Chains A and B, each alone.
Chain A
Amino acid sequence: MSATIFEKGTAGRSGRYLPPNDCPVEDLGIAAPRRGEVGLPRIGEQDLIRHYIELAGKNYHIDKGMYPLGSCTMKYNPVINEELARLPGFAGLHPAQDEADVQGALELMHRLERDLCEITGMSAFSLQPVAGAHGELTGMMIARDYLRRRGGTRTTVLVPDSAHGTNPASVAICGFTPRTIPSNELGLIDPDALAAACGDDTAVLMLTLPNTLGLFERDIARIVEIVHEAGGLVYMDGANMNALLGIVRPGAIGIDIMHVNLHKTFSTPHGGGGPGSGPVGVAAHLAGLLPVPRVVETGGRYSLSEDLPETIGRVHSWYGNFNVLVKAYAYIRTLGGRGLREVAENAIINANYLMALVGERYEIAYPGPCMHEFVASGKGLKKYGVRTTDVAKRLLDYGLHAPTVYFPLIVEEALMIEPVETEKKETLDHFAEALASIAREAEEDPDLLHRAPITTPVRRLDEATAARDPQLCWRGECVEP
């Protein structure tokens, strides 16, 4: 059992980290002061480090093994990029410093924006959104303000049923109404059904490319045309951009707005849930609506400009997750144009190879070449009383991480698998063997799967009780139990 940090200290054990105060501590004159203690731990440094290293040991992470989470693009995070982002010349910058003191930072941002424009074919980028969903929200604000400025009252955003949950949620915050459009039997948007759904009320089609089934929308050119003819905009969720690097430039095929996830495609770490970065790119006619400030270059000098009359305003206190931008920029420089194309090619080869292997024991939801990910189904194991969640939990016993499960919602007992380009063939073989072995176990000893995992720091957790009566804080005292 892991006690909390609050249970591990005792009075007087805290270290003294600050030098003595060299200014007088007179009465601070605070009219309504805090009475009593906050309730923070009192723990010595050695035990504090032991505590967090103990917790570290209970985490699965990329440096430990493969992370085949569909649509999450858990690729290797180059360690050099961590080192570079920590340079005092980056990490020590205050965002309100004089522009003359931050020329290197502004230049890096300007160069990264230009790189993202070249990679995606979009006309301009803002680096301000700090997550994929934040990028979606920013993109929807841009679409909304653009359509309003043109005098329309379009309020419907079409979202395929295979979309990430963030898509309809981002749409709703912006005051739009999401309308689900069903995928056809191939797992794709049906152009005729789309044409029928489009009308005077259509503001935006929000699609993911490749979609969350790992499929490229073959009719993308027609799809874009239909939406544009109806007077709407096309938003592309770039969560799956890893498959398209150097292969498809969304701006060149008529996408109006998109975001990319630097923490997916461009190798920056996920940090156990963040920080991420979700820059938004737009076509030329929307560039004036991007968030401010913009990084502007004039004769080799960089500055931050608020002068953008049609801007949607700000979506973050400052300029986005700068530290993440540094890592993504370093990654792009290291790989270059050729390296990025190799990323996409190898991601696609790895996914198709793994799909062939997994397909031996599991049904593949949509057979045929996939892009960077594919969706298998665990429904064939239901006859043994085994569900996909059991397969996922058993994978943990094999020392592997589970794929994304039960998503996309349109595939029964879904296992959404994205191997990424940095994993080598033997690792994929090993993962496929584990899945095959689990399928055999399901047949022979289903209970083994129901009990799984058994080798992990804890076993299946009682989520129902937690949801009924959430215990969100440690209520005890800060002393040893």
Chain B
Amino acid sequence: MSYIQNTDADRLEMLARIGAASFEDLLEPVPPGVRAGAPLEIGDPMSESETAAHLRALADRNDPAGETVSFLGGGIYDRFMPATVRYVLSRSEFYTSYTPYQAEVSQGTLQAIYEYQTMIARLTAMDAANASMYDGATALAEAMLMACQIKRTPRIVVPAALSPRVRAVLRSYAVGKGIAIDEIPWGAGGTIDPGALAAALKEKAAAVVLAQPNFFGMIEDARAVSESAHAAGALLVVLADPVSLALLEPPGEYEADIVVGEGQSLGLPQSFGGPLLGFMATRTEHIRKCPGRLISATVDLDGKRGYTMTLQTREQHIRREKATSNICTNEGLMALAATVWLATLGEEGFREVAVQSASKARTLYRMLAGEGSVTLPFGKGFFQEFVMSVPDPAEFVSRARRRGVLPGIPIGADFPALGEGAMLVAVTEKRTRADLELLRDIAAGKGGGR
């Protein structure tokens, strides 16, 4: 199968117009010694049906969480996805368009991003949001670079209860600018230990990162952390779960300076962890230090409302090495997905997603609290995810899988202080009471195989 439309006759005619005797003439600038000696060994072309059969066979060798009872979270959640999101994403007017550099013929993309920026700004109660970043981890890494640039201080303070993957991304981005990342341990409740935070802030820091909720699902005392950060002259960077913002005080109200997060929860498929959606919001005073694209409303020559990319002098194609970031391609289509998801659910539906997730998580927590070998190290101050400990996570996971349940993510290896048995259990609105009871029964060692 080929997607080339020109025929041999077309090519001959074109070569004649070019004035070349053959295609080989056009390769004149490529010295023979540099050319590949042999054809590529990646197999023969396949027909569409052969490719499809091959890919379907690969897909069939997977057992997707999306089709089971999944309690997996850790940043990626199994959420309800209305058909509207799939439908809009499947429109090629959106998915086959390029970055909206020619604004007059990109108003669809530009307005959708403007609506997205508005929704993120409203969720976070910040002044403005950018047009998206790669994922939550790189959004936080960019926020770190931005904060260190604003404060001209190469040090940030982060909670130890942070996703190990986010921490790893921060580390690799920090090296180039020589940024030190210091961790604040969690206290008995699974949240930032205020004494440890105060101690960490005795040394100058550009920013304190607040993960809200943190990796263990626990809701932090955001105001206290914000006050400590600002009292020490540091910025407050919040890594927020966007769905939690339906219920929790939004970061703008406790004086956050930069808010970032992982937007997969806003209606994106789990998709084995990509594409994701990094979001970033900030205050007006910092907007010119912000990475990535920004869309502004404006008017055209006739005074008609329109949208355009703005403040491009921050960006790499203008400012090159002095740009605020190297980001170019972002996750535009995923921002559209999030916008349609939020618009479909609306004010009440969005809140309902958060309420159902939180109340079901609490129901499960109570069910598990009484079950034999399960322990719950922290309290009920979580959003939709909590840590539980079982004697043997591998055995537990394997037993649950046999009954069609993915019971959680073992995190003991990443957080030795929690013990080997620690697991992270997430409950979204998609889980039913029967699902919760099934997990409880598995934890209690009740019931047979499926």
Residue B259 CB within 8 A of the other chain: no
Compute how far the CA of A174 lies from the CA of B145 in the bound complex, rounded to whole angstroms.
11
Kindly list chain A residues whose C-beta atoms are within 8 Å of the C-beta of B433.
22-23
The answer to whether B28 and A62 touch across the interface, beta carbons within 8 angstroms, is: no
Query: Binding site of A, secondary structure by majority: helix, strand, loop or mixed?
Result: loop
Compute how far the CA of A299 lies from the CA of B107 in the bound complex, rounded to whole angstroms.
52
The answer to whether B55 and A326 touch across the interface, beta carbons within 8 angstroms, is: yes
Kindly list chain B residues whose C-beta atoms are within 8 Å of the C-beta of A86.
86
Partner of B112, one of A55, A67, A108, A130: A55
Residue B348 CB within 8 A of the other chain: yes
Cβ of B304 to closest chain A Cβ, rounded Å: 6
Compute how far the CA of A458 lies from the CA of B304 in the bound complex, rounded to whole angstroms.
7
The answer to whether B109 and A59 touch across the interface, beta carbons within 8 angstroms, is: yes
Partner of A31, one of B88, B106, B221, B326: B221
Contact A107-B61, Cβ < 8 Å, known A31-B221, A166-B328, A472-B295 = yes
Compute how far the CA of A393 lies from the CA of B300 in the bound complex, rounded to whole angstroms.
13
Residue B194 CB within 8 A of the other chain: no
A-B contacts, 28 of them at CB < 8 A, read: A14-B345, A34-B248, A45-B84, A49-B84, A52-B88, A58-B107, A82-B90, A88-B67, A93-B64, A93-B272, A94-B406, A107-B61, A134-B327, A164-B328, A165-B317, A166-B317, A168-B316, A174-B176, A272-B332, A273-B99, A314-B165, A329-B55, A334-B48, A339-B1, A341-B39, A343-B4, A356-B17, A425-B14
Kindly list chain A residues whose C-beta atoms are within 8 Å of the C-beta of B409.
96
Compute how far the CA of A88 lies from the CA of B270 in the bound complex, rounded to whole angstroms.
10
Most buried by B among A96, A105, A340: A96
Contact string against B for A residues 424-468, beta-carbon threshold 8 Å, 1 for contact and 0 otherwise = 110000000000000000000000000101001111111101110
Kindly list chain B residues whose C-beta atoms are within 8 Å of the C-beta of A425.
6, 10, 13-14
Partner of B111, one of A4, A102, A132: A4
Compute how far the CA of A130 lies from the CA of B441 in the bound complex, rounded to whole angstroms.
41
Cβ of B167 to closest chain A Cβ, rounded Å: 9
Known A-B contacts: A248-B34, A321-B275. Give 13 more (CB < 8 A).
A14-B348, A56-B94, A64-B93, A84-B51, A93-B65, A165-B316, A173-B177, A274-B275, A313-B171, A334-B1, A350-B14, A467-B310, A472-B310
Contact string against A for B residues 317-332, beta-carbon threshold 8 Å, 1 for contact and 0 otherwise = 1111111011111111
User: Which residues of A (126-141) have their CB < 8 Å from a CB of B?
Assistant: 130-134, 136-137, 141
Among A196-204, A214-222, A226-234, A375-383, the stretch that binds chain B is A214-222
Kindly list chain A residues whose C-beta atoms are within 8 Å of the C-beta of B87.
49
Partner of A21, one of B50, B82, B355: B355
The answer to whether A133 and B327 touch across the interface, beta carbons within 8 angstroms, is: yes
Interface residues on A, range: 35 or more
Contact string against B for A residues 1-44, beta-carbon threshold 8 Å, 1 for contact and 0 otherwise = 11011100100011111100111111011111111011111110
Kindly list chain B residues whose C-beta atoms are within 8 Å of the C-beta of A456.
104-105
The answer to whether B429 and A18 touch across the interface, beta carbons within 8 angstroms, is: yes
The answer to whether B28 and A221 touch across the interface, beta carbons within 8 angstroms, is: no
Cβ of A367 to closest chain B Cβ, rounded Å: 12
Kindly list chain A residues whose C-beta atoms are within 8 Å of the C-beta of B315.
165
Residue A152 CB within 8 A of the other chain: no
Contact string against A for B residues 34-71, beta-carbon threshold 8 Å, 1 for contact and 0 otherwise = 11110111111111101110111111111111110010
The answer to whether B66 and A166 touch across the interface, beta carbons within 8 angstroms, is: no
Residue B438 CB within 8 A of the other chain: no
Cβ of A472 to closest chain B Cβ, rounded Å: 4
Kindly list chain A residues whose C-beta atoms are within 8 Å of the C-beta of B329.
130-134, 263, 270, 273-276, 278
Residue A478 CB within 8 A of the other chain: yes
Contact string against A for B residues 325-343, beta-carbon threshold 8 Å, 1 for contact and 0 otherwise = 1111111111010011011
Compute how far the CA of A22 lies from the CA of B359 in the bound complex, rounded to whole angstroms.
10
Kindly list chain A residues whose C-beta atoms are within 8 Å of the C-beta of B318.
165
The answer to whether B223 and A275 touch across the interface, beta carbons within 8 angstroms, is: no
Kindly list chain B residues whose C-beta atoms are within 8 Å of the C-beta of A1.
304-305
User: Which residues of B (99-129) have their CB < 8 Å from a CB of A?
Assistant: 99-100, 102-109, 111-115, 117-119, 121-123, 127-129
The answer to whether B344 and A45 touch across the interface, beta carbons within 8 angstroms, is: yes
Compute how far the CA of A300 lies from the CA of B269 in the bound complex, rounded to whole angstroms.
28
Residue B262 CB within 8 A of the other chain: yes
Contact string against B for A residues 176-217, beta-carbon threshold 8 Å, 1 for contact and 0 otherwise = 101000000000000000000000000000000000000110
The answer to whether A271 and B249 touch across the interface, beta carbons within 8 angstroms, is: no
Contact string against B for A residues 272-284, beta-carbon threshold 8 Å, 1 for contact and 0 otherwise = 1111101000000
The answer to whether B287 and A95 touch across the interface, beta carbons within 8 angstroms, is: no
The answer to whether B359 and A28 touch across the interface, beta carbons within 8 angstroms, is: yes
Cβ of A463 to closest chain B Cβ, rounded Å: 5
Kindly list chain B residues whose C-beta atoms are within 8 Å of the C-beta of A308.
none
Contact A76-B3, Cβ < 8 Å, known A31-B221, A270-B96 = yes
Cβ of A186 to closest chain B Cβ, rounded Å: 10
The answer to whether A131 and B94 touch across the interface, beta carbons within 8 angstroms, is: no
Partner of A18, one of B80, B137, B270: B80
Kindly list chain B residues whose C-beta atoms are within 8 Å of the C-beta of A275.
274-275, 329, 331-334
